[in-house]
Structure 1
Amino acid sequence: MEKIVTVYTQPSCPPCQIVKQFLNHHHISYIEKDISIDSEARDKLVYELESTSTPTITVDDQVVTGFDLKKLEELLGL
């Protein structure tokens, strides 16, 4: 069963670009939420996921804050 991956991002975030490249390289589809223009996503990031930084990635119900490719590989079974 495919995992649901969401990437909370914003412009001018080099680690966000690297995470998206990593996911694309591994052919993992994801939903991108740009918190600079999506206030609902920004509120979810801060209040539900308790994060104030990008990238923040959710893999199903697991949260990865920041540039942690090792944890992403583990959660995605890579």
Structure 2
Amino acid sequence: MSKVVLYSQSDCPPCEFAKHYLSDKGISYTIKDIKKDKNARNELIHKYQSFSTPTFVINDDLVITGFDLEKINEALSIES
């Protein structure tokens, strides 16, 4: 099973949609809220070179910025 980290923030409708989508598909994931956690924000920017949410990090190396359904489904082997 893939390790999924979702970088998110409050008041982000695409982030909420991403959480619901992963939950509906039975994918376990860890949320890192960049507004509540300065380390998560720095990690998102410096380690993954992303400046927006939602950002998905799958297995510590695949970064998907934004809710790109096709890329997410492919990376997590989800049938559409």
Normalization by structure 1: what TM-score? 0.96
Deviation at 1:31, TM superposition (A): 0.2
Deviation at 1:67, TM superposition (A): 1.3
Runs of 4+ in 1 over 3 A off after TM superposition: none
Q: Which residue number in structure 2 is paired with residue 37 of structure 1?
A: 36
Unaligned runs of 5+ in 2: none
Alignment: residue pair count: 77
**Among the aligned pairs, what percent are the same residue?**
44
CA RMSD of aligned residues (A): 0.5
Q: For 1:25-64, what aligned pairs fall within 5 Å after superposition? A: 25-60=24-59, 61-64=61-64
